[in-house]
Amino acid sequence: MTVAQDVPSAPTGDPAGAGTDGASTRERILDIALELFSSQGYDKTSLREIADRLGFTKAAIYYHFASKADILMALHLRLHEFGREALDAMGDDASPASWARLLDRLIDQMLQQRALFIFHERNRAAIEELHRSEHDAGHEDIQDRLRKVLSDGSVPAETRVHMACAIGAVVGALEFSGDVFGSIPDDQLGDILRGVVASLLTESSGG
Amino acid sequence: MTVAQDVPSAPTGDPAGAGTDGASTRERILDIALELFSSQGYDKTSLREIADRLGFTKAAIYYHFASKADILMALHLRLHEFGREALDAMGDDASPASWARLLDRLIDQMLQQRALFIFHERNRAAIEELHRSEHDAGHEDIQDRLRKVLSDGSVPAETRVHMACAIGAVVGALEFSGDVFGSIPDDQLGDILRGVVASLLTESSGG
DNA sequence: GTCTATATTTCGATAGAC
DNA sequence: GTCTATCGAAATATAGAC
């Protein structure tokens, strides 16, 4: 599969592919796909459905993407960009301090890009299948890197579990943020989550 | 769809359908499905694949289940049984104390039935699609009930977020428990998780 | 309870016109 | 860049023999 297709994103010469709509067709496809993949799942969403929403036919999508999986990968890479940045703020060490630094960044990004994170959670099977079927040369997955850090045997078991719980807590809360926590402002939600992370990664916690 | 098919689970008269193998064919189908749905996802797993593993053909499955979705529903109900029990230990009130009681039960059940929980997490889109397409008369979903409790406006926002984080922490840790935390005994893991839950649901936490 | 064989449908993907 | 038309593959599901 060709992830980055040699597609003329701006054949008319406009900078970011801003076409008739302000967003390139490619981006509009991704936006609709994100919405449908999140609500129905990747497999239950057909290319015809995506095309219908955009007002053209299935075949047109193939001008912008080499395959359906290519759309999935593009969305995955969108998320990956945010994750990579947060990961780079952390070293490779497994200290609670650096983990807290990672989550601090992640909380803000999740709240700003929550649709992307929720999509990612609801389609884990499809995305991991993607990683299996391709030889992701040089594409180190976020999940793998997190696992690597959490596997560090030199860190006490309790600490590592606390680290896993911290990220689980943030992700878990995010899933309710749309509807159940809809009335809580993002700022406040972020503050609460940072507090949770801090309490989980502090020596005295957990008994 | 007929969720509970009128199938002769024990046509030869044996109590729990124990056939040639000690488990009824229906249960064996569910076990293989659980394994494949978890590793590959529901959509990427074909009935042929399940049948092959069991040594017979696809058509035989239709004797035991009315449809592929019926298998998914049966597995969902397996989990639902455990969740229901834990939920009943909690009232309908949204106090942190009752929430802690819920999670206490849930931790043990998750550790014992972790395959079932992981399956559920990796196939959320498919399962929710199931809920949409059927008129689940009387089938109140666990997720819905949790949302209802977390929506209780009479409870402070911070407390509700902490409750969401607590369940997220437990579920999040569970996902690493297979490989990354494989060397940690279940007893110890359970204790750590109970500690995490307690710290999250205590007044002083979170700053 | 399991088999063979087949019906039916849906979808991803391609070719080529415009 | 989008269209029409179509191919081919795969999967669910059914019918009926044994």
* Shared domain check, B174 and B96: yes
pLDDT band at A6; cut points 50, 70, 90: very low
Out of A50, A66, A82, pick the residue that ends a domain: A66
* Shared domain check, A90 and A60: no
* Shared domain check, A195 and A109: yes
Q: What is the largest CA-CA distance in chain A?
A: 63
- How far apart CA B152 and CA B126 sit, in angstroms, is 28
Please state, rounded to an integer, the average pLDDT across all residues of chain A.
Answer: 87
- Please give the structure tokens belonging to residue B75: 């597995």
Residue A64: nearest nucleotide (C-alpha to C1'): D1
pLDDT of B199: 97
Residues of A in contact with B33 (CB under 8 A): none
Interface test with B, best of A192, A194, A197 (most B CBs within 10 A): A192
Domain with A14, as residue range(s), is: 1-66
Report which DSSP code applies to B137. Answer: T
User: Does nucleic acid strand C have an atom less than 7 angstroms from the CB of B188?
Assistant: no
* Shared domain check, A32 and A78: no
- How far apart CA B150 and CA B164 sit, in angstroms, is 7
User: Does nucleic acid strand C have an atom less than 7 angstroms from the CB of B55?
Assistant: yes
CA A62 / C1′ C13 distance in Å = 9
Q: How many residues does chain B have?
A: 207
pTM above 0.75? yes
CA A114 to chain centre: 8
Contact B112, B29 (CB under 8 A): no
B178-187 pLDDT, tens digit per residue, is 899 999 999 9
Residues 6+ apart with CB under 8 A from A73: A1, A3, A130
CB contact under 8 A, A129 and B44: yes
User: Looking at chain B, which residue has its C-alpha nearest residue A171?
Assistant: B168
* Shared domain check, B27 and B91: no
B17-55 pLDDT, tens digit per residue, is 444 556 899 999 999 999 999 999 999 999 999 999 999
* Shared domain check, B193 and B177: yes
Domain count, chain B: 2
Residues 6+ apart with CB under 8 A from B3: B70, B73, B74, B77
* Residue with CA nearest C1' of nucleotide D15: B59
Out of A66, A87, A111, pick the residue that ends a domain: A66
Out of A38, A66, A94, pick the residue that ends a domain: A66
Residues 6+ apart with CB under 8 A from A88: none
B120-154 pLDDT, tens digit per residue, is 999 999 999 998 887 665 677 888 899 999 999 99
CB contact under 8 A, B125 and A41: yes
Classified as helix, coil or strand, B64 is helix
* Shared domain check, A56 and A83: no
Q: What is the CATH number of the domain that holds B19?
A: 1.10.10.60
* Shared domain check, A50 and A135: no
Residue B17: nearest nucleotide (C-alpha to C1'): C1
* Shared domain check, A122 and A25: no
* Shared domain check, A142 and A40: no
pLDDT band at B3; cut points 50, 70, 90: very low
* Shared domain check, B61 and B41: yes
pLDDT of A136: 64
* Shared domain check, A94 and A62: no
